[in-house]
Amino acid sequence: MSAAGPRADVIDEHVAALSAALHGPARAKSRLIGEIRDGLMDTAAAHAADGVPRQRAARLAVREFGTVDDLVPSCQRELTIAQARHTARTVALTSPFLVACWYLAGSIDQGQAWQLPRTAQLVAVHLAGVATFAALFAAVALAATGTLARRLPTPRGLPLVVAWAGTTASGAMAGAALALVTAAALATDWPLLVCAGALAAASHAAVAASARACRHCARLPVT
Amino acid sequence: MKADVVRGHLDGLLLAVLEEGPLHGYAIIAAVQRRSGGVLELRTGTIYPALNRLERLGLLSSSWQSVGERRRRCYALTDAGRHTLAGERTAWSEFTAAIGSVLNPAVNPAVPPPGLAP
């Protein structure tokens, strides 16, 4: 075993335990964990430079940084907000596509001998409305967790609300994908409708995954 | 000073040590401990999520820089961060003056409230 072995083991075990306890967007989590690991290594190196044996220096560094239970609440709060922002950004970026898809379907509808059934048209309007509302709410959530949070405290329940807004938007996108593919089967200009349906399905997949992760994060205890 | 008390002032402490220039995580921890003479009881690991939060609020910016042989994420105050730091200092001065007036009335005689003046 190298001289640095015990130090790395103690710190790596601590970082691994912390990493296992935290949930959030991979990039944000990796950055936070990486910075904490660097800080632990620096702290241990500073103690070792003062003449403390390496293994004891590592244990001192871990003690000064705090136990996993000490660190998880504040780290998880940031990761939960990062996940909520990720979900809100995904909803805000993909929902306009859904509205565009319906606009496309409507414009094709105008020039065809066939027409979308009245019920389908009403469903389309409602799904587009849901997507527009979700996109607007997502934009507000992004502002509320960004620079606006300097002046206004971020509501504790906001990540959960964002998660359910994302879930609702993803449901609207799934419905839109199904309706567009069904309409494509009836239309002569079907390739455009199939493309629009595929776009709606891709949006649904992206938003649903992010919203599911956000629901999970929002249920975890934070400070 | 107890950890709970320190946590309430963590934002101000972090902004203050970054006033002189960009620092990476451990250098920020070392600066806080050096300036406080090691009196502050603080779980130093909690500094990292706090730095993330201050960056999200636009009070800090961060960039990768080479420090020694390694690359580190270094944090710097933004203009909004300097403005917030000035506000934190004013609020702290007012708070300590008010508490000092109560704890040491002989040293810091308070202005008597209206109706109680001789």
Residue B75 is inside which H or E element, if any? strand B70-77
Residue A134 and residue A37 in one domain: no
CB A204 within 8 A of CB A170: yes
Closest-CA residue to A170 (of A200, A136, A137, A198): A200
A223 in any annotated domain: no
- Please tell me the distance from the alpha carbon of residue B95 to that of residue A151, in angstroms, as a whole number: 20
- Mean pLDDT across the stretch A19-32? 96
Residue A185 and residue A114 in one domain: yes
Residue B24 is inside which H or E element, if any? strand B23-24
Residue A146 and residue A46 in one domain: no
> Which of B47, B49, B72 minimises the CB distance to A77?
B49
Domain count, chain A: 2
Residue A90 and residue A53 in one domain: no
CATH top class, domain B3-87: mainly alpha
A74 in any annotated domain: no
> Which of A71, A82, A150 minimises the CB distance to B45?
A71
Residue A49 and residue A97 in one domain: no
Identity (one letter) of the amino acid at A219?
A: R
- Please tell me the distance from the alpha carbon of residue B73 to that of residue B70, in angstroms, as a whole number: 10
pLDDT one-digit tens code per residue, B36-48:
888 887 788 999 9
Q: Residue B74: beta bridge partners?
A: B24, B63
A153 in any annotated domain: yes
A124 in any annotated domain: yes
A91 pLDDT more than 50:
yes
Identity (one letter) of the amino acid at A75?
A: C
Mark which residues 9-68 of B lie under 8 Å from A by CB.
24-26, 29-30, 43-53, 56-59
Q: Is A54 on the interface with B (CB under 8 A)?
A: no
Q: pLDDT band for position A113 (50/70/90)?
A: low
C-beta atoms surrounding A30 within 10 Å: 12
pLDDT one-digit tens code per residue, A144-157:
999 899 989 999 99
Closest-CA residue to A172 (of A207, A140, A139): A207
Domain ranges for chain B: 3-87
Residue A61 and residue A171 in one domain: no
Question: Range of A107's domain?
Answer: 82-218
- The 3-state DSSP class for residue A146 equals coil
Residue A186 and residue A110 in one domain: yes
Residue A96 and residue A52 in one domain: no
Strands B23-24 and B70-77: antiparallel
Q: What percent of chain A has pLDDT over 90?
A: 61
A45 → chain B, closest CA residue = B26
Edge-first strand listing for the sheet containing B60-67: B23-24, B70-77, B60-67
Token readout for B28 is: 């920020």
Q: Do B84 and A46 touch (CB under 8 A)?
A: no
**Range in A38-52, A95-109, A175-189 with the lowest mean pLDDT:** A95-109
A23 pLDDT more than 60:
yes
- Please tell me the distance from the alpha carbon of residue A145 to that of residue B56, in angstroms, as a whole number: 8
Q: Do A147 and B80 touch (CB under 8 A)?
A: yes
Closest-CA residue to A11 (of A24, A48, B90): A48
- The 3-state DSSP class for residue A1 equals coil
| Top-confidence residue, A23 or B9 | A23
Backbone dihedral region of A22: left (phi > 0), alpha (psi from -120 to 50 degrees) or beta? beta
Dihedral sign, CA of A150, A152, A157, A163?
A: negative
**Range in A24-38, A107-121, A175-189, A191-205 with the lowest mean pLDDT:** A107-121
> What contacts A45, CB < 8 A, 6 or more positions away?
A57
A12 in any annotated domain: yes
- The 3-state DSSP class for residue B103 equals helix
Find how far residue B103's CA is from the centre of its chain. 23
pLDDT one-digit tens code per residue, A159-185:
999 999 999 999 988 988 888 888 777
Residue A187 is inside which H or E element, if any? none
From chain A, pick out residues whose CB is under 8 angstroms from the CB of B84: 150
